[in-house]
Amino acid sequence: MSTKAFFQSLFGWEFVDYGPDYTAFSNQGLDGGFYHAPLASQTSNGAALLVFYSQDIEATCCKVEKYGGKIIKPIFEFPGGCRFHFEEPSGNEFAVWSEGR
């Protein structure tokens, strides 16, 4: 499953392709896009960590695995909430946070 298909399944995002290497999303509460690069974005190699919000972190965590993602840091608590880290099918690292479970 591609990055685009993964996020379509996980969050219901809709995309517009701009050539073979870039796809954009908007009107999802967040505007942005994905560029196809030869390297994966990981905090271990100094990349920024993009963190998404979920009202139901447990359900979102389950959906990440259901749609082909890999949990790399299970849900953990921190002051003000909780979060988990995952890799989408192309190997890029993201996180999801919520106020609590």
Global confidence as pTM = 0.86
Full set of structural domains in the chain with CATH: 3-98 (3.10.180.10)
Per-residue pLDDT tens for 30-74? 788 888 888 888 888 888 899 999 999 999 999 999 999 999 999
Residue 28 has pLDDT above 70, yes or no: yes
Residues 6+ apart with CB under 8 A from 96: 51, 52, 53, 54, 57, 60, 61, 64, 83, 84, 86
In whole numbers, what is the pLDDT of the chain averaged over residues? 90
